Amino acid sequence: MSERKAALVTGSTSGIGLGVATAFAKAGMNVTLNGLGDPNEIEKVRAALAAETGVEVRYDGANLMQPEACAGMVDSAVGAFGRLDVLVNNAGIQYVSPIEDFPVDKWNAIIALNLSAAFHAIRAAMRPMKERKYGRIINIASAHAHVASPFKSAYVAAKHGILGLTKTVALESAAFGVRCNAISPGYVLTPLVENQIPDTMKARNMTREQVINDVLLAAQPTKEFVKIEDVAGIALFLTTPAADQINGASLSVDGGWTAQ
């Protein structure tokens, strides 16, 4: 078994997930990446991160829409490194539409990836973490885990669910050295957010600039996008001894959005 801590970060081939995985690798953890994208580009990312940090970086292309694939991904990560210290559930998709027009397949997909995949991964990780009496589970939620926005019924429902899952797991695992917390970012200019701008333009009959200023950043008092590094820094902090008594919490990184 490696003496290095081992982390698994879902949805980590770009955006927030890659930022978190990078922070972990720079801190000396072995890392399993997971996510979608061009295989050649993913391999470049994996190899570059390993070369830069000197840790072992592996990639698992599990389809998180499938429960058995989620469990298999966790089992494979444990087998590769002999341990799993940190699990970050970050993978997610978005779709923007009035509820009466919301496609049922989009609802099912968002719930499957944004909520159910986290359940399946945590379920698979809990036994090995309990056996070692150590684990840190971090669920990337959203300001939408606390408040709602129009036209995002599935995403808001999933993120509220993630917060409930976080609290329940935190209570169940507290006596076993396992901590479960959520990070709730405001708007981060990731591919997920970029991709929803055209849909929001259409749904609200707005220009791109209006969507950014009057919709995305309207609720964030700082009027600034949250940076990927902001979220990654909080995730890394939650793996340190200073965070040992943080359990079942949602740490908001939203420029003050949910303080209103």
Active site residues: 155
Quote the CA–CA distance of 84 and 96 in Å, as a whole number. Answer: 35
Q: How many CA atoms lie within 13 A of 231 on its CB side?
A: 31
Sorted by sequence, the CB contacts under 8 Å of residue 232 that are 6+ apart come out as 16, 19, 20, 22, 23
Helices (H), 133-246: 153-173, 191-204, 208-210, 228-237
Question: Residue 77's closest CA among 96, 97, 56?
Answer: 56
Quote the CA–CA distance of 211 and 195 in Å, as a whole number. Answer: 12
